[in-house]
Amino acid sequence: MASETAQGSFWMPPEASTFAGDVDALFDFIYWLNVFFFVAITGAVVYFAIKYRRKSDDQLATSQVGHNTLIEAAWTFIPLLIVIAIFVWGFRVFLNQSVAPDGAYEVKVTAKAYLWQYTYPNGAVTGELFVPEDTPVKLVMSSEDLLHSFFVPDFRVKSDVVPGRYTTVWFEAPDPGEHVVFCTEYCGAGHSGMMSKVIVLPKDEFQERLEKDFIDGDIPPAEMGAKLYTSAGCSACHSINGTRLVGPSWKGLFGTERKFADGSTAKVDENYLRESILQPMNKVVEGYPPSMPSYQGQLKDVQIDALIAYIKTLK
Amino acid sequence: MATTETLDHAQEVSYLGAKKGIMSWLVTIDHKRIGVMYLASVLATFTLGGILALLVRAELWAPNITTEAGEAVGALFSADVYNRLFTLHGLVMVFLFIIPSVPAAFGNFVLPLMIGAKDVAFPRLNLASYYVYVIGTVMALYATIAGGVDTGWTFYTPYSASVSGPVVMMVMAAFVLGFSSIFTGLNFIVTIHKMRAPGMTWQRLPLFLWAIYATSIIQVMATPVLGITLCLLAMERAMGVGIFDPALGGDPVLFQHFFWFYSHPAVYIMILPGMGIMSELVTVHARKTIFGYRAIALSSIAIAVISFLVWGHHMFVSGQSVYAGMIFSFLTFLVAIPSAIKVLNWVATLYGGSIQLNAPMLWAMSFLILFTIGGLTGIFLGTLATDVHLHDTYFVVAHFHYVMVGGTVVAFFGALHHWWPKMFGRMYNEFWANISAVLFFIGFNVTFFPQFIMGSQGMPRRYYNYVEEFEVFHKISTSGTWLIGLSFIIMAVYLIQSLRKGEKVSANPWGARSLEWATQSPPIEHNFHEIPTVTEGPYDFPKAGGKKAH
**pLDDT per position as a tens digit, A165-192:** 999 999 999 999 999 999 999 999 999 9
Across the interface, whether the CB atoms of B291 and A182 are under 8 A apart is answered no
The pLDDT value given to residue B10: 60
Across the interface, whether the CB atoms of A162 and B247 are under 8 A apart is answered no
Domains of chain A: 1-53+66-99 (1.10.287.90), 105-211 (2.60.40.420), 221-313 (1.10.760.10)
The pLDDT value given to residue B547: 55
Give the best residue of A22, A39, A186, A237 to mutate against chain B (max B CB count within 10 A): A186
Across the interface, whether the CB atoms of B385 and A93 are under 8 A apart is answered yes
How far is it, in rounded angstroms, from Cα B149 to Cα B230?
A: 15
What is the C-alpha end-to-end distance of chain B, expressed in Å? 13
The pLDDT value given to residue B549: 46
How far is it, in rounded angstroms, from Cα B99 to Cα B223?
A: 11
Q: Within 13 Å, how many C-alpha atoms sit on residue B286's CB side? A: 33
The pTM (predicted TM-score) of the whole model is 0.94
Say what the ipTM of the complex is.
0.93
Q: Cα dihedral sign for B284, B286, B290, B296?
A: negative
Show the low-confidence residues of chain A (pLDDT under 70): 1-6
**Contact (Cβ atoms closer than 8 angstroms) between residue B35 and residue B106:** yes
How far is it, in rounded angstroms, from Cα B239 to Cα B335?
A: 39
pLDDT of chain B along its 550 residues, tens only?
444 444 445 678 999 999 999 999 999 999 999 999 999 999 999 999 999 999 999 999 999 887 767 677 888 999 999 999 999 999 999 999 999 999 999 999 999 999 999 999 999 999 999 999 999 999 999 999 999 999 999 999 899 998 889 999 999 999 999 999 999 999 999 999 999 999 999 999 999 999 999 999 999 999 999 999 999 999 998 888 889 988 888 999 999 999 999 999 999 999 999 999 999 999 999 999 999 999 999 999 999 999 999 999 999 999 889 999 999 999 999 999 999 999 999 999 999 999 999 999 999 999 999 999 999 999 999 999 999 999 999 999 999 999 999 999 999 999 999 999 999 999 999 999 999 999 999 999 999 999 999 999 999 999 999 999 999 999 999 999 999 999 999 999 999 999 999 999 999 999 999 999 999 999 999 999 999 999 999 999 999 876 544 4
How far is it, in rounded angstroms, from Cα B35 to Cα B110?
A: 9
Nearest CA distance, B334 vs chain A (angstrom): 7
How far is it, in rounded angstroms, from Cα B124 to Cα B71?
A: 61
- Cβ contacts of B549 on chain A, cutoff 8 Å: 64-66
State whether residue B548 is helix, strand or coil: coil
Across the interface, whether the CB atoms of B286 and A59 are under 8 A apart is answered no
| Residues constituting chain A | 315
Nearest CA distance, A108 vs chain B (angstrom): 16
**pLDDT per position as a tens digit, B464-513:** 999 999 999 999 999 999 999 999 999 999 999 999 999 999 999 999 99
Nearest CA distance, B235 vs chain A (angstrom): 19
Across the interface, whether the CB atoms of B376 and A67 are under 8 A apart is answered no
Across the interface, whether the CB atoms of B369 and A26 are under 8 A apart is answered no
* Type and span of the H or E element at A106: strand A105-112
Among the partner-chain residues A26, A180, A187, the one whose CB lies closest to the CB of B385 is A26
Angle (nearest 5°) at CA B181 between B179 and B182 = 65
Among the partner-chain residues B287, B379, B462, the one whose CB lies closest to the CB of A61 is B287
Domains of chain B: 22-517 (1.20.210.10)
Across the interface, whether the CB atoms of B464 and A157 are under 8 A apart is answered no
Residue B203 per-residue DSSP state: G
